[in-house]
Chains A and B, each alone.
Chain A
Amino acid sequence: MSEETPRTNHGEEIAPVADVHAKRTISMIWVVPLVALFIGGWLAYKALSEKGPTITITFESAEGLEAGKTKIKFKDVEIGQVSDIAISEDFSHVVVTAKLKKGTGPYLTDKTRFWVVRARIAAGEVSGLGTLFSGAYIGVDPQTEGKEQNHFKGLEIAPVLTETLPGRHFTLLAHDLGSLEIGTRVRYRKVTVGKVVGYRFDPDLDILKIQVFVQAPFHEKVRKETRFYNASGVDFALDPSGLRVNTDSLVSVVLGAIAFESPVSLKVSEQAPENFEFKLYPDRESTKQKEYMTKRYYLLYFEDDISGLSTEAPVNFKGIRVGHVLDFSLQYNWKKKDFQIPVLIEIEPERIEQIHVKGPTDPNKNMEFFVERGLRAQLKSANLITGQKFVDLAFHPDAPPAKVRYDEAYPVLPTLPQPLKQLMASVENIVDRLDKVPTDEIGRDVKAVLESLNNTLRKTETMFGEIHEEVLPEITQTLKTLQGSLSDIEKSYGKDSITNQELRKTLNELEEAARSIRILTEYLQRHPESLLRGKGDTE
């Protein structure tokens, strides 16, 4: 700045010189980092705001799962991704860590279910084919009800129903699963209305419990007496109209299906509530028969002779069959130094109708209660002649107190010895009564009856003798006098007079009558019984 500065006369500067330098403007170039900052900040905000909850799911195996690749999908919409797969500390399962999208938090409750979706061909359905190419993914059934949580136990089997469909669950009790499996269809009038959603074995009841779901509005068709049956088979029936083949659709025959029918009855039945238990009948035909699914086993120890008892022998309670004998054997008890015979019986409690039930009851407790009241098992003869025996359960309030024992494989019920004496007594009673029957008297009476009959016959004979001896001569005499009178009349009326002729005719008739009387008397003499019985047809 060497330019001359204007000065006053005194050499003083009039005014300070203005500074001259580069413009102190904010360079436009700063827009670039500002924009960059804005974009970066926006990206960071987006990333942070989209960050959802991180959850862990345990599975038996991580088959098909890959960290960083496997997605978590709901209704085929990606809601998260597996970020890490680790093995649990005890090596028993794998722990899958997944990052979910924002907003999924409220759906992660203790009722939320996770499972791995893989390609599956089952129950007439091919599902998850896409996973053949894309690899497995984790399916989720979000539930808002329940307690929120971030640790889940994954299902090993994909649930059949993932949405909250309107309908009802029922439990079917069956001996075996047959050709059923999860996903097997439930049919009503050949319409698929539901599915088998699961099954489990109940070791207490020794029975398989199959869970089925029937969707609305068909769940209303499930009444309390509805019968479910396995519709997988083909029913052949030979009846007067010919051979009938009854099957569900061929698909059901091949893949298995459960069908149900409600019997038509006058009674308006109630709808079955959620989780109501039904028996699963093996086929449609058997729905019409009674069958008992629940079985309880008890062991009875008898010390006396059980001859006449066989397996399948009935177990009766109050005279009604409630079960049967399954097995028995002979044991020697070294402790008691005696033989004993354990008899295994099976009781079907369903044969006993329960009234005024207040909630579920403990069958063991019930039995203990009954035994306390004197319930005892006893061998009884069903048939005196064949000697068949049955197990009789009855209350013997006077019996010595006993309890149900649980130290064996089955609960042991107390028994009573066979009622032999009682039985003998009744037999004796019968024999006594037989003795008292008055055989002699009866014989005597019979004899007397016969004698009197004889007498009667004799009397009849005498009577006829009298007829022969007394009546006939008189008749002859009368005839003779008549002859005399006739000759007189002949004399008076003339030989050929009408009177004479008529008289002759009359006389002839009389003669004939006399002859027939003679024949009669002779016949009577030969057959006196004809008086009582009449003349036999043959003669």
Chain B
Amino acid sequence: MSAKQLGLVGCHECRLLSRQRRPESGQEAYCPRCGATLHLRKPNSIKRTWALLIAAFIFYIPANVLPITITTSLGSTQSDTIMSGVIYFLLHGSPEIALVIFTASIFIPICKLVVMAYLLVSVQLKSSWRPHDRTQLYRIVEGIGRWSMVDIYVVTILVALVKLGVFADIEAGPAALYFASVVVISMFAAQSFDPRLIWDAMEENHE
């Protein structure tokens, strides 16, 4: 039994449960308490999430192929991609740093994208397989999102700090932009996904 089946709709903002009224054309339902727009489910959730997810996937490629930092040290310029940085730390005796960078910058973003894609597919197929776990996955993806910008923070801090002219200079490479785009877009994708859709499938199956 869900609020939807009872003709009730929950406000996204103040969580007030109000009776659903069908809006006329050109009208919309608003929360009687806080005035937020009321939706039974997030509108166009699946489409929107797919669109953002695909965009994130596309940006993920240049984010990893292009250099993220351009280091100029005593006249020698070196551009590093995320992966080359990981390999550099791995080969130069700092596997833990390599692991951190790899996890935060390569593994987690791709995991997020894959998990989101899986959730979308499972909802579209109206799968009823382990909805608890899937909701848990969604929660993790959403929760992790805000931490995914660590890389960008590091790069921006380095760029700002290391400005020693000829001796050392770090500039953000084009990949930084694409990486930030991946993070932001995937966060939006996670936001636009409505986890209640997972459970909707369960109820339909129950009927």
Contact = CB atoms under 8 A, between A and B. Distances in A.
Nearest to A69: B78
A29 interface: yes
Contacts of B84: 68
Interface of B, helix, strand, loop or mixed by DSSP: helix
Nearest to A135: B76
Interface in B134-184: 166, 181
Given A33-B58, A36-B59, A37-B58, A134 B51 contact: no
Contacts of A191: none
B74 A32 contact: no
B55 A27 contact: no
Interface residues of B, number: 24
B75 interface: yes
A37 B62 CA distance: 11
Interface string B66-89: 100000001111100000100000
A3 to B, nearest CB: 11
A33 B47 contact: no
Contact of B58 (A36, A47, A130, A134): A36
Interface in A110-134: 130, 133-134
A409 to B, nearest CB: 55
Nearest to B56: A36
A33 B166 CA distance: 40
B110 interface: no
Given A36-B55, A40-B62, A43-B66, A27 B76 contact: no
Nearest to A41: B58
B148 to A, nearest CB: 17
Interface string A29-51: 11011011101100100010000
Nearest to A40: B58
Interface of A, helix, strand, loop or mixed by DSSP: helix
Contacts, number: 56
A36 B166 CA distance: 36
Given A39-B58, A40-B59, A40-B61, A32 B75 contact: no
Given A69-B78, A134-B74, A134-B76, A36 B54 contact: yes
B124 interface: no
A461 B74 CA distance: 128
A136 to B, nearest CB: 10
A27 B59 contact: no
Contacts of B48: 27, 29
A27 B47 contact: yes
Contacts of B52: 29, 32-33
A42 to B, nearest CB: 10
A133 B55 contact: no
Nearest to A32: B55
B44 interface: yes
A133 B51 CA distance: 48
Contacts of A47: 65
Contacts of B197: none
Contacts of A35: 55
Contacts of A130: 75
8 closest A-B pairs by CB: A134-B75, A36-B55, A133-B75, A133-B74, A33-B54, A36-B58, A33-B55, A40-B58
Interface of B: 44, 47-48, 51-52, 54-56, 58-59, 61-62, 65-66, 74-78, 84, 166, 181, 185, 192
